[in-house]
Structure 1
Amino acid sequence: MPLRVGVIGAGFMGRHHVRIYREMPEVELVGVADVDESAAEVAAEYHVSFFKDYRKVLELQPELVSIAVPTSLHHEIALAALRNGTHVLVEKPISNRLDHAREIVQAGAESCCKVFVGHVERFNPAIRSLKEVLQKGTLGQVHSIANLRVGRYNKRIFDTGIILDLGTHDIDLISYLFGHRAASVFAVGSLQPGRDYEDHATITLKFDQDQTGYIELSWLSPYKVRKMFVTGTRHFGLVDLIEQSIIVYDGQRWADSGLVSRDEPLKLELASVVEAVQHDLPPSVSGEDSIYTLQVALEAMRSYREGKAFHFPEFAGSSYPIGNK
């Protein structure tokens, strides 16, 4: 039997959830909800019932819903779905409040429903290949990972700044690649006149094993760039998350790793989620992972506002991801 799935929020990301679910033979897409009536065009394009009220989708008793709404609405909708007995995939970040994030994860446990969080870059083939490169020791001991994530500001983002919206990708990725959680965070940031949240930030993550993560974020760039610079004791790696490529410099020349099999990260993510629901597997990205990422991001925001670093003694010696993969 195909898995009954609903999509709540059919904007920038949600429309891609709709598209991919409709392409999956193991899924029956039962409904799409969005407060914006123009999103009805997305539902019509893929021949799916459309509702303005997300509760109407839940009344259809889907087994899984994707929640791709503004971050400030994640808590309300996720709790409603979980209490309905529905597994949830929440776009990242899981919430803009730590207490709300914990309530979502707790509600999942109490309802025996799975909570997936859409840290889609984990499914980028370049990241999966880079993880293999690091595990093989190709670069030697890795001392630093520097991520550059810049592009134009998107007006759809109105309830959060760049650290929560984009920086959570890189906090998660760097921790995932190092294999443990950060010991401290320090950040600087700025915002354009007339905006309520930061649109540029630089974040430094310190880890226990003499490892450092650097994150550069900006909504002020005319160009979209998603790159990672990985410095090891033997070699240097350059990863392009858009091109899905890894090249390695050995001190004399650059060489393509030849390991990346390109594919759409969101498609891989949704396939993983559907498989986990159908076969009762643990989430690849757990709710606990996302609570950690949110906590570090919130402290990064606090750091740039107060001008000082914040430490995480509770994370000492803790591996990452906290989940199963």
Structure 2
Amino acid sequence: MRPLRAGLLGLGMMGRHHARILSGLEGVELVAVADPSGDVHGVAGGRPVESDVQSLLTHGLDYCVVAVPAVHHEEVGLALAAAGVHTMIEKPLALDSGTARRLSAAFGAAGLVGAVGYVERYNPALQQARKRVAAGELGELYQVVTRRQGPFPTRISNVGVVKDLGTHDIDLTAWVTQQSFVSVAARTAYRSGREAEDLVAVVAQLSEGTITNHLVNWLSPFKERVTVLTGSKGAFIADTLTADLSFYANGRVEQESWDQIANFRGVTEGDVVRYAIAKPEPLQVEHEQFRDALLGKDADIVTMDQGLATVRVTEAVLESAHTGQTVDATLG
């Protein structure tokens, strides 16, 4: 069986990492890359360097990875769909739900595999948390809390922290819990002199009643990437910087009198376990899953419909911050 012929559009900070993975991905041949600024990071490896999507399409692609600014996603995505090329588009799928819906519809109508590049979903700690939640190890899931903060990345120019960093937390929360967002209430701040928001605090409710809280900013001098899942049997803490997953079990409370039992309704601290887990590179796993989806194998990809749902939640977050009201986050 011949290798899948892949192309890469966008050779910036994220695109160079995609080039590295694609260059060594089993069953795949990276045949050409494209960027209007050229190969600024020197990642082409002797392959043709084109300037735009139409030139890239002349290389007979089976699929393409798109790592250009989100403002260009609709133009290049629709061109790739029209050409019959399976595509993974870096997050967010689009800057608004109307554009995201058109992209998802175009790939669906063409019978193509379309995906969104949410690499955080493939972090080993979250992969393990997802399996263990599904297996009932937390019991009933009460709450998801995420903290994603750090200094401002100079690569960001056209979106705020909600549609950049915040979309990771929306996607991973919906995926780990297998629930959709129902409503959100949010507040934002503008502290760094940019037009777009650089801090957001979100409280949301999911489709099965789980409550979530997301704190995201570009204002902290330290980097933090933490997800806490609390359920009836204890809590998982996933640190995606170190790819560590820990479990804090509820303790057994010994009571001496009926009055004490009647008054106590909380939990105590039990055993703590840090799991020994394999730690493959998340971007490598993301590419392997997309490749397998193209080959018709079982694969866990972020579909464009899921990407669309995430964009809708970001719109609800920003609407809530603007109006001061709780906003419906479901797709209309």
TM-score (norm 1): 0.91
In structure 1, C-alpha distance between the alignment counterparts of 2:57 and 2:104, rounded to whole Å: 19
CA contact (8 A) 2:118 2:302 kept: yes
The CA deviation at 1:170 is 0.8
Give the equivalent residue in structure 2 for 1:289: 306
- Matched pairs, number: 312
| Correspondence list, 1:88-237, <5 A | 88-237=87-236
SS state of the match for residue 102, structure 1?
helix
Rg: which structure is higher?
2
Q: Which amino acid aligns with 1:254?
A: V
Q: Which amino acid aligns with 1:166?
A: L
In structure 2, C-alpha distance between the alignment counterparts of 1:149 and 1:226, rounded to whole Å: 5
SS state of the match for residue 188, structure 1?
strand
RMSD between superposed Cα atoms in Å: 1.7
Could you say if the C-alpha distance between residues 134 and 70 of structure 1 is closer, same or farther in structure 2, counting changes exceeding 3 Å? same
CA contact (8 A) 1:61 1:86 kept: no
The CA deviation at 1:272 is 0.9
CA contact (8 A) 2:90 2:116 kept: yes
Could you say if the C-alpha distance between residues 193 and 129 of structure 1 is closer, same or farther in structure 2, counting changes exceeding 3 Å? closer
SS state of the match for residue 201, structure 1?
strand
| Correspondence list, 1:233-312, <5 A | 233-250=232-249, 251-258=269-276, 260-279=277-296, 284-312=301-329
The CA deviation at 1:177 is 2.0
Higher mean C-alpha displacement, 272-281 vs 22-31: 272-281
Give the equivalent residue in structure 1 for 2:266: none
SS state of the match for residue 162, structure 1?
coil
Could you say if the C-alpha distance between residues 84 and 208 of structure 1 is closer, same or farther in structure 2, counting changes exceeding 3 Å? closer
Q: Which amino acid aligns with 2:213?
A: Y
In structure 2, C-alpha distance between the alignment counterparts of 1:79 and 1:4, rounded to whole Å: 19
CA contact (8 A) 1:163 1:297 kept: yes
Give the equivalent residue in structure 1 for 2:261: none
In structure 2, C-alpha distance between the alignment counterparts of 1:261 and 1:109, rounded to whole Å: 34
Q: Which amino acid aligns with 1:300?
A: V
CA contact (8 A) 2:312 2:330 kept: no
CA contact (8 A) 1:3 1:278 kept: no
CA contact (8 A) 1:90 1:118 kept: yes
Give the equivalent residue in structure 2 for 1:55: 54
The CA deviation at 1:281 is 6.1
In structure 2, C-alpha distance between the alignment counterparts of 1:123 and 1:275, rounded to whole Å: 15
CA contact (8 A) 2:125 2:244 kept: yes
In structure 2, C-alpha distance between the alignment counterparts of 1:208 and 1:271, rounded to whole Å: 30
In structure 2, C-alpha distance between the alignment counterparts of 1:80 and 1:235, rounded to whole Å: 48
CA contact (8 A) 2:292 2:299 kept: no
Q: Which amino acid aligns with 1:6?
A: G
Give the ranges of 4+ consecutive aligned residues of structure 1 lying more than 4 Å apart after TM superposition: 280-283, 312-315
Q: Which amino acid aligns with 2:11?
A: A
The CA deviation at 1:223 is 1.5
The CA deviation at 1:19 is 0.4
Q: Which amino acid aligns with 2:26?
A: P
The CA deviation at 1:277 is 1.2
In structure 2, C-alpha distance between the alignment counterparts of 1:287 and 1:242, rounded to whole Å: 26
The CA deviation at 1:32 is 1.0
CA contact (8 A) 2:97 2:312 kept: yes
CA contact (8 A) 2:15 2:67 kept: yes
Q: Where do 5+ consecutive residues of structure 2 fail to align? A: 250-268
In structure 2, C-alpha distance between the alignment counterparts of 1:267 and 1:192, rounded to whole Å: 35
SS state of the match for residue 163, structure 1?
coil
In structure 1, C-alpha distance between the alignment counterparts of 2:222 and 2:146, rounded to whole Å: 15
CA contact (8 A) 2:289 2:299 kept: no
Give the equivalent residue in structure 1 for 2:257: none
In structure 2, C-alpha distance between the alignment counterparts of 1:195 and 1:40, rounded to whole Å: 27
In structure 2, C-alpha distance between the alignment counterparts of 1:282 and 1:136, rounded to whole Å: 19
Identity %: 29
